[in-house]
Amino acid sequence: MLPKSAHLVVLGNEKGGSGKSTTAMHLIVALLKAGHRVASIDTDSRQLSLTRYIENRARFSRDNCLDLEVPAHYVARLAAGETVRGIEAEEFANYVEIIDRVEADFDYVVVDTPANDSYLMRLSHAMADTLITPVNDSLIDLDLFGRISPDQAGSAQVGHYAELVRNARHQRHQVDGVKMDWIVVRNRLSTLSSRNQRHLLKLLNQFAPILDFRLASGISERVVFRQFFTSGLTALDRLDKTTQGVEPTLSHLAARHEIRELVALLGPPRDRRADRAAVLPAILPRPEPHLATANE
């Protein structure tokens, strides 16, 4: 049997605040609770939301003798330098070193990305085995997938973020033949079904075969997804008087179910072909910019 490599799950969407970090944390805890070995990488080194969430969890666990599961966590830092090329080379080297360290020893690596289009964000997309894109129920959010006409019908014109994903997929496929699986999950859904909600669902179903993504059943707007940041707890944790002074409610249980449904869509750890770190250099370093000389 071939040795296994970590399955790299990237949370991405150029739309800010769509729920990437929150979903990343819940996936990590769900995978750990299912007995998998999980590492995590924060490439949003300005906000560091995932990093803070994990730090809070480790501290809360220690202070309350709870033995909560925590992932092996890494931060892919932004580099500073004189030239774009130099900065990207340093960020690349740092990222490859992290991937090299975790690839063989973990079943899943969960990567959180920033909303802004950065080198590390693109690199993460190009490396993903699975890309999970949380999207809010709004026409503005859907515009990044495909243009929507004034009569609110989807058009064949690919949106900005979908174009980025398409390029990342293409680059990756050319390098090692892996086809990235793209899962889109509606997030912060109102629990009351509305005409708008049904319309957006219809549009996403229309985009899915064109852009080649799978649409997961959604995640609802629930207090449980945002109330535990400072303690590092999640909807997946056992909530009782010792942990939060609250008993789990039906909403907690429903939230757990939603996250487990998303986890169930993930493929298993990969069969090891080539080290991802070894194929990476072929994926992204940009060619040296061509500078016109006086003779040209």
Ligand X SMILES: Nc1ncnc2c1ncn2[C@@H]1O[C@H](COP(=O)(O)OP(=O)(O)OP(=O)(O)O)[C@@H](O)[C@H]1O
Q: Which is nearer to ligand X, 106 or 225 (by Cβ)?
A: 225
257 near ligand X, rule: CB under 6 A: no
User: Minimum distance between the CB of residue 277 and ligand X, rounded to whole angstroms?
Assistant: 26
- 181 pairs with which residues across the strands? 130
Token pair recorded at residue 287: 């060619």
Binding-site size for Mg ion (CB under 5 A) equals 3
Structure tokens, 58: 């480790």
> Does 187 sit near Mg ion (CB under 5 A)?
no
Residues of this chain, 215-234, that bind ligand X according to CB under 6 A: 219, 221-222, 225-226
Least distance from ligand X to the Cβ atom of residue 222, Å: 5
Nearest to 215 by CA among 142, 291, 139, 288: 142
Q: Measured between alpha carbons, how far is 198 from 200 in angstroms, rounded to an integer?
A: 6
- Residue 144 sits in the site that holds ligand X (CB under 6 A): no
To ligand X, the closest distance from the beta carbon of 296 in angstroms equals 42
SS3 content of the chain, % helix, strand, coil (to 5): 40, 15, 45
Decide whether 16 or 281 has the Cβ nearer to ligand X.
16
Site for Mg ion in 10-29 (CB under 5 A): 20-21
- Residues from 173 through 202 that contact ligand X (CB under 6 A): 187-188
> 158: which 2 tokens?
């690919």
Q: What angle do CA 86, 172, 7 make, to 5 degrees?
A: 100
65 contact partners, CB below 8 Å, separation of at least 6: none
- Can residue 261 be called a binding residue for ligand X (CB under 6 A)? no
- Contacting ligand X within 1-30 (CB under 6 A): 16-22
* DSSP code at position 51: H
Interface residue list for ligand X (CB under 6 A): 16-22, 44, 47, 49, 114-115, 187-188, 219, 221-222, 225-226
